[in-house]
Chain A
Amino acid sequence: MRHILINKSIPIRFMISFMILGCIAPLLIHPAKAKNLSADLDQHLIKINTGFTGSDVLLFGTVDSAGDILVTIKGPPRDMEITKKKFFWGIWVRDQEVKYSMISSFYYHAISSPNALLLPVSNLKRHRIGVENIYFPDLPNVDSNALAGFKKGLIKAKIKDQSYRVEPGRIERRGDNLFRLSVHFPADVPVGTYMVETLLIKDDQVISAQTTPLFISKVGVNSKIYYLAHKYPAFFGIGAIFLAVSLGYLANVTVKAFIRRLTH
């Protein structure tokens, strides 16, 4: 056998070409399935600079089959310390504390029609739709009743400062295929990477999904100041004092000249 194969020697060129074709072939062969859903944002970077009062982001896209659209926006994961306060001798003081790691710091969702939310609960949980389905890891060290209280308190606090929004926004549809959604991010949103997930829902099932990122970051002077203050605190402290002393001296000098000009 081996004897015969060696005699039938295939030129190296052909072997290499077949190997290359073999690698590329899977990439060239598409399943003949059209893309149901595509979505994008009008900007992927929100810059927080001085005078930032909030920003509006436009999500837009197309669907090529019937169905409802649902969008969820989840903010960057953060460690959160939740402290329970209790009434002590007439004043509210801190009592117990629980620390969660990597919880979404922001939550928002929007729907094209109320039908989008008629998914079975397991689907809602899997895609983390709704404030009550945000991922909270189990904390085995903490008593489960107390933990339920802490979780409820955390969600209540986040709803109050509007980083968790309960009311869904409305996705507008234009014609059969186009949709758009405008989302407002207020001035005090957490910085970091946000994940914007768009779902196409049909017959109580998620048939298509697309995720796109949104970055919110402090740029320019603000991020540099924050960074300096935390990375080089001694230098920052000396700088602050130097600024204060110089401005104090400068103020005195300028005002003296000003008064002299007034009284002459």
Chain B
Amino acid sequence: MPLSAKLKTLVSDERIDKARQQLKTAIDSGLDRHVRLAVTGLSQSGKTVFITALVHQLLHSHDTQALPFFSVANEQRILGVRNAPPMGTANPPFPYAQALQRLEAEPSAWPPSTDRLSEIRLAIRYEPQGRLHRLISETSTFYLDIIDYPGEWLLDLPLLSQSYADWCRQNHQLFAQGIRAELSQTWLAKLKAVDLNAPADLQVIEGLSEQYTALLHLFRDPSNALSLIQPGRFVMPGDLAGSALLQFFPLPHLPDYPAERFQQAPEGSYLRVLEQRFNDYKEQVVYRFYKDHFSRFDRQLVLVDCLKTLNNGRQCFEDMQRAISEILHSFNYGKSGLLRRLFNPRIDKVLFACSKADHVTANQHHNLEKFLGLIIDHARREMRFEGVETHCMALAAFRATEAAEAVVDGQKLSCLKGYRKGSHEPVALFPGEVPIELPTEQDWHEDRFRFIDFAPPRITLRQGKPSSHIRLDQALEYLLGDKFA
């Protein structure tokens, strides 16, 4: 009896298949033909749209003109691409077809905000070298894994390196000023009324954590547009909605947070219960999320919505800057050799992308990239220290506007033409100039920027043309180009 059949009688079929799959994945990873791409970004930064656009372009890349800067596609070395979901994984597939349907519908709409984890794997068959350079034809297959998840969950990752005391201290700083201080007056008052060393009343904890969740929703609302919302699962619970794991909150009102205070609190007191719940949350929710999905990435794309900060002011800018720095701490960076790729892969190339570049005129793209550099400055410096290649780019996954010109006040002005989001009425506007230095207080308040949201374009009209996106091909070339050489 052949070995595999004998093994199958001893161990269940699924396990064999899974083991074989894992072995194949490991070999491919070692041989550099399998890349796990991390598409990172806060909520509403355009991750789902980007993944949809990427998959759409790659699936049509064997005979497209739309990717001139992606050298494999440009040299027509791609033979075919297909969706190749790995067997034996628990992750639901990325809802590509649904997203595309919404974009192609009449009237078109952007895909909804992601509320659960999903995964997609593409198998790309290509010729390793051009036709001029070899006598026999040979093909290779390259696997690309992309994971989509709610951006809110990303902000839980920094919690892994913090204790409850640290987290409370951080929140103390955050709640001390700005919008948070204003909006959290009532909640803080209620919190101050509770004696933390008294035996915990679970009802009170539940009530307070519900109010804290409502507060987080308020911070996140577009009128306040704050980004550092922790814990992320509170605002996007997924399948943990209503669970006791999500019932705790920080204590920003204490004057100081020495470790002894938390250790010496009596058993069953509020302090102890909250700390215990925090640690449970960290272990059961965040650590598992991290271990299953985040520790094995090879390349990373960080999407940042710069226009939101320009529309919303200085507090939003600083908050986003802090949120992004915190998130990027949690990824494994550094050079990735052969063995490391098998056992502990590390991210060796990061692309920082400003999404929605089609909402500004083309001559502002360079300014947009510079402005993005301001936001990620701190994080990028640390990555450079680890020897990771970084690059900034302004891109748009689906181009929703057209370039146009108008003569205003005797001056030629380049502007944008598109359809307004929601109402779908045609609109033309000059959205303002993107600053390359941090704007002063006065600039934030004046009516200097007006970046509006546009409705999605008619995909079928521009399919296969370079005008269906902005710089998606350059992003692909930077992230994956060297794997196809």
**Is B one of A's binding partners?**
no
